[in-house]
């Protein structure tokens, strides 16, 4: 501490605490600086040390530990940050959903392969070949229930493996699925695109391009890579799966599957024993990210390990001295002379209290973790399951396969409105919500309303040469 004309012996407990510096000093500017510094640090990153009690000495001075009084949170600032955070990530989800639907619509419009019904999935044994509508209805319902049972069984199997921590099995499963999509279905897509646009290409070049495309996709999805590249691959995979469903599902079964899968999504996420809810809660309990191959994130999905500090080292957050410069080092605000006297075994020097505030240094203790434990930090962001991308694109792609752009645009707008409402509920309720029910319900309503009412009305106006 600094020398002054009037020296007062410290005969009472004294503490150096950054939370009360603004109260001890009438300098308003210093108080504002300290307040700004405290706002920039989140509460979960703070763990302040304190000065150890020293007994004895000729003056009987002691420095006692006092608890730090937590500051009350500023609610308006938190709400403002949440609104900004939510609005930014709403836009970050609108863009990939739109791109995925545009890829499917463009493919359906330009490549006839995905509009021809010649082969069906093994899970849809009823092919709706009867001319009667009632037969087609129960065929579609039967196919959709069979497909739903398969999806539910696979989901429960995934949850069981995750609960048992069979991570290698899950990763192998996901890697095999990604291999099939990135190589086999990508080959079929590229081949049909080359045929549709009449572009010649030899098999050697095709194999070289496909190999590089597939290997790069496996790296960025299951390991790490540029965020934009990972997002692009996930969007392409979702579009491929949507095209597969449009191609290999019977006509009426597609609409029945969309309705049934929305109800299943509602049950799986919101019910207490729903499998998707169990998956999310288990991942939160273990503080683990859900597998990147299943989730589209608006921020980085993989975790980066930061370099750990040296053993015994602790970070310091330094305040500012009276002259505006940074306060020097030292232990809990004591200078080098005091440390030398302590190391030599001398009695502690008497403490004097100045009228001016002392220079201070706040110790920042490391969190409850071993010295060499990696600091895993996953950036926050809104996450949307790839299944949501797939079924959004199935609805819009199926609507575009009939060649009516009014219906296609109506379904597109309906899905975006439903997604916006879902994200609004997410910001209000602050828990995992199903993304399919609202969007798919709006999409189905807009599709059948536009197909049954708007399209005949527009055709009648065009036939009568009436323009609105």
259 vs 455: CA distance, rounded Å: 23
* Helices 133-163, 251-270: crossing angle, 10 deg rounding: 40
Task: Let me know: does 184 contact 161? Beta carbons within 8 Å.
Answer: no
Question: Tokens in use for 184?
Answer: 């086999």
Residue matched to tokens 């509602």: 266
Q: Hey, how many other C-beta atoms are within 10 angstroms of the C-beta on 164?
A: 10
The one-character DSSP state at 164 is T
Q: What is the DSSP annotation of 381-438?
A: --EEEHHHHHHHHHHHHHHHTTT-HHHHHHHHHHHHHHHHHHHHHHHHH-S---SHHH
Q: In this structure, what DSSP letter does residue 47 have?
A: -
Taking the C-alpha atoms of residue 144 and residue 170, their distance in angstroms, rounded to an integer, is 26
- Residues with Cβ within 8 Å of residue 27, at least 6 apart in sequence: 357
Side-chain half-sphere of 277: how many Cα atoms within 13 Å? Answer: 14
Which DSSP letter does residue 453 get? I
> Any idea what DSSP says for residue 366?
P
The residue whose two tokens read 């603004």 is 22
DSSP 375: E
Catalytic member of 377, 388, 404, 459: 388
SS3 295: strand
Tokens of 313: 């080292």
The partner residues of 296 in beta bridges, in order of sequence, read: 384
Residue closest to 419 by CA, chosen among 439, 445, 393, 396: 439
Decide: 467 and 461 in contact? Cβ < 8 Å: yes
| Residue 165 φ/ψ region, left for φ over 0, alpha for ψ in the -120 to 50 degree band, beta for the rest | left
Residue 263 DSSP SS3: helix
Lookup result for tokens 């030599």: 344
Q: Which is catalytic among the residues 27, 265, 354, 404?
A: 265
Partners of 305 in beta bridges: 376
Residue 265 annotated among the catalytic residues of the structure:
yes
Burial tier of 295 (Cβ tally within 10 Å: 0-12, 13-18, 19+): middle
Contacts for 449 with CB less than 8 Å, ≥ 6 apart: 410
Catalytic sites, residue numbers: 265, 388
């Amino acid at each position: 501490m600094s020398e002054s004309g009037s020296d007062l012996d410290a005969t009472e407990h004294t503490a150096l605490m950054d939370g009360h510096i603004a109260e001890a000093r009438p300098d308003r500017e210093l108080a504002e600086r300290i307040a700004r510094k405290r706002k920039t640090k989140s509460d979960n990153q703070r763990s302040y040390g304190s000065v150890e009690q020293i007994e004895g000495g000729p003056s009987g001075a002691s420095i006692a530990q006092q608890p730090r009084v937590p500051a009350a949170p500023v609610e308006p600032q938190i709400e403002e940050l949440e609104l900004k955070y939510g609005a930014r990530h709403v836009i970050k989800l609108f863009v990939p959903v739109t791109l995925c639907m545009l890829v499917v619509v463009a493919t359906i419009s330009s490549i006839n392969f995905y509009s021809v019904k010649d082969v069906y999935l093994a899970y849809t044994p009823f092919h709706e070949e009867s001319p009667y509508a009632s037969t087609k209805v129960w065929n579609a319902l039967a196919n959709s229930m069979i497909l739903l049972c398969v999806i539910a069984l696979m989901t429960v199997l995934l949850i069981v493996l995750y609960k048992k921590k069979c991570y290698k099995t899950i990763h192998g499963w996901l890697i095999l699925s990604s291999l099939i999509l990135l190589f086999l279905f990508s080959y079929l897509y590229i081949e049909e695109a080359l045929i549709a646009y009449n572009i010649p290409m030899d098999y050697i070049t095709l194999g070289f391009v496909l190999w590089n495309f597939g290997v790069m996709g496996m790296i960025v999805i299951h390991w790490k890579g540029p965020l934009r590249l990972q997002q692009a691959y996930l969007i392409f995979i979702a579009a491929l799966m949507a095209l597969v469903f449009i191609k290999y599902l019977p006509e009426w079964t597609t609409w029945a599957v969309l309705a049934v899968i929305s109800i299943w999504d509602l049950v799986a996420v919101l019910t207490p024993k729903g499998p998707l809810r169990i998956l999310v809660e288990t991942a939160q309990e273990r503080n683990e990210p859900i597998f990147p191959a299943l989730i589209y994130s608006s921020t980085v999905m993989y975790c980066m390990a930061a370099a750990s500090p040296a053993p015994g080292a602790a970070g310091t957050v330094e305040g500012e001295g009276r002259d505006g410069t940074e306060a020097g080092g030292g232990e809990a605000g004591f200078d080098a002379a005091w440390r030398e006297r302590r190391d030599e075994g001398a009695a502690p020097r008497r403490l004097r209290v100045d009228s001016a505030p002392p220079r201070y240094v706040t110790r920042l203790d490391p969190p409850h973790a071993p010295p060499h434990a990696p600091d895993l930090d996953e950036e926050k962001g809104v996450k949307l399951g790839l299944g949501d991308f797939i079924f959004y694109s199935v609805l819009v792609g199926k609507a575009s396969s009939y060649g009516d752009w009014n219906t296609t645009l109506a379904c597109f707008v309906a899905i975006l409105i439903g997604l916006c409402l879902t994200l609004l509920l997410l910001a209000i309720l602050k828990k995992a919500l199903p993304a399919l029910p609202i969007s798919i319900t709006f999409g189905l309503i807009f599709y059948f309303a536009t197909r049954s009412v708007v399209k005949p009305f527009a055709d009648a106006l065009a036939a009568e040469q009436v323009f609105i």
